[in-house]
Every structure is written in structure tokens, then in C-alpha cells.
Homo-oligomer: A and B are copies of this chain.
């Protein structure tokens, strides 16, 4: 039978489990609930049970399973040691070794944002490029740096934490970032940040905007209104894209990647958003960085599973 591998993406609510070919194609995928009770002590056992049942049901020989990769929502060292994982209730322990002992196959683990970046590099928006920066614009702003086809994890597992680059001018900073700082990129470039900027526009200015008529504003509302020509909404997008483009120019001055891949829920705004970000990036980027390519992520919620599988194949 052909060799296969498992790609596991552990989130605070569900664990996504994928079975992939060596070429990175899905053979199967499903989700199980993340049981975070009792400091998340059941999570790895539940994953192992689910995979063992799958293997038994399908009549798969475990000798054909090359290994399992796993993305976890927190800082993690190359050897699989989780440093802290508040969402799961996990303290410090080697999650890769523990799952490997349960499954009897090699396991590698990485930070979920980094692993998703690796997925996009292998099979998604960054396919064909060894050096890539990925930005995930969701509730927060995550990031992943891939150089030479491998994750840059950093000595504390904090490489690619680009949502916490301190870049926002005091006049555009609203409240405190989740990390405790002020002026983090995440405060303006995440879905949450876009909504905050839009609410400030509605509540603190007389700028005409269709957003004023909405009972509740979402990031999608803002981007849709901007695309439809609403100047007020566009000013919010320009501010968000301005800071993001400037931060990306700084990131490129550090690692000079071939391509920047933009993912996360906010990236559903598509090429319109890419154009806005690129318009801010280009004038602020060092001349040798101006031909950096931009692309949309293509794997969506599958990126973590694909990247996790890649991790164990490296």
C-alpha cells in the first residue's frame, strides 16, 4: 500500500485531523472535539484513539504510516516541547513525544500559525517558493516565516509573531492589545481591529458612510462597503492596509522572501485587499524588495493539516 501521513491541527474548540498522501493530497479528513477540561489531559489520547480507529476501520497497516505532524496554538520548540498553550490548558511538556508513544509512529509538532504557513508553502498560495512570509488576518494577526522550505521557529518559538510588531501610531491605537502592549499591528490589521477602526469612524466623526446604518459592524461589512465605493469604509481599509504594508516592508528587510501569502478570514476580500496592501508596501520597501510577490492563501482551514503533514515528511 502507498505510504501515508497524518496532519493534525489542534484548535481550542476542535481538532482537525487529515490523512494525506506523500504528495500532500487529502485522502480523508474529519474533526473531533477538543476536550480542554483537566488541563487538556485527554486531547492527545482522543487524537490517538480517533486515528487508531480510522486505521483499523480502513485496514491500514501502521507500517505504511510515515508519521504524524501536529500544529498547536502556542509557542513550541523544535523538539516538540510546548512552552505554554493557554487555549488547551497545557503546561510545559513534550507533546510530540507523547503522541508518538501513543501512536507508535514518529511525530513532529510546530506552532499552528507556522505550520499553516508551511502548508501554504507546500501546497497553497506559496507553492513553488522556498522563502515565504505568511500573514493570517483573522480575529488576531498571525504569521509564519518559511526559509529554505523550513519553518523559522525562533529560540522561544516566537518567530513570525508579526501581529505584535509595535507599529501603530498613538492616534490610531484603540485600547490595549491582547498581549498587554499598545500599538501592535494586530490592533488595526485583524478583523477585530478593522471593526474597532470602523466604530471609531462612525462614533467619533461625521464622515458619511453606509456603515452608520448597520446595527452591528463586521470586518466583512467594512471591506464590502469599501469595495462598493464607500469613502468612509475605504479610509478604514487604507489605514489598516497602510500599517500592514509598512510592517511587511520591515519584515522583508529582515528576511527578503520571494513571496508574501495573505490568509485568514479577512483575506476573503481578495485581490482588492492585496492591491491596497501592496500600494502601501511598495513606497516604503527598500528598492531591492519591491518585486516581492503577493498572493492569497488557497488552503483555508486545511492549511494547518497540510503543513503538519509536511512537518513530519521533512
Contact = CB atoms under 8 A, between A and B. Distances in A.
Given A166-B250, A286-B179, A289-B156, A161 B256 contact: yes
Contacts of A62: none
Contacts of A255: 145, 152, 154, 159, 254-255
Q: Is the interface of A mostly helix, strand, loop or mixed?
A: loop
A284 B173 CA distance: 14
Interface string A141-178: 00001010000111111111110111101000000000
Q: Which of A167, A251, A254, A287 has the most CB of B within 10 A?
A: A254
A181 interface: yes
Nearest to A258: B155
Contact of A284 (B153, B158, B160, B166): B166
Given A145-B254, A167-B250, A131 B158 contact: no
A18 interface: no
A252 B253 CA distance: 12
A75 interface: yes
Contacts of A296: none
A297 to B, nearest CB: 19
A81 B252 CA distance: 21
Q: Which of A75, A131, A253 has the most CB of B within 10 A?
A: A253
Nearest to A283: B181
B251 A254 contact: yes
A257 interface: yes
7 contacts: A145-B255, A156-B291, A158-B252, A158-B286, A165-B254, A166-B249, A169-B169
Contacts of A289: 156, 158, 161
Given A158-B286, A158-B288, A165 B256 contact: no
A215 interface: no
A247 interface: yes
A3 to B, nearest CB: 28
